[in-house]
Amino acid sequence: MKKPVIQIGIQEIFMAKAGKNGWDNCFHGYITRGTDEDGNPVVHAKIKMGTGYIVASAKDQQELGEKLDELVLANLCLNLCDDHKPALN
């Protein structure tokens, strides 16, 4: 008898921040890791922000974090979504 194969997907929790001291607004989401069509590592993120999402991808987690922080700040400054409260769920 064959043993059943268990498939597990791993996602990491990620946070982007914005504000005067950087911690006034914190938004949490998740990141996944993979490779692009050339086999290079890539990191993707999706963060819930109010009624919408911020999505980004980068070659590494450091670059991804910088992009997400900038996107959160731009969203807050430009009023891109109608609800700017951090998602609690």
Looking at the DSSP bridge assignments, the partners of residue 49 are 52, 86
* SS3 call for 76: helix
Question: Considering the entire predicted model, what is its pTM?
Answer: 0.66
Backbone angles phi, psi at 21, to 5 degrees: -105, 10
pLDDT range class, residue 82, cuts 50, 70, 90: low
Select the more confidently predicted residue: 88 or 2.
Answer: 2
* SS3 call for 62: helix
Centroid of chain to Cα 5:
30
Domain ranges of the chain: 12-77
Total Cβ atoms within 10 A of residue 33: 13
pLDDT at 57: 92
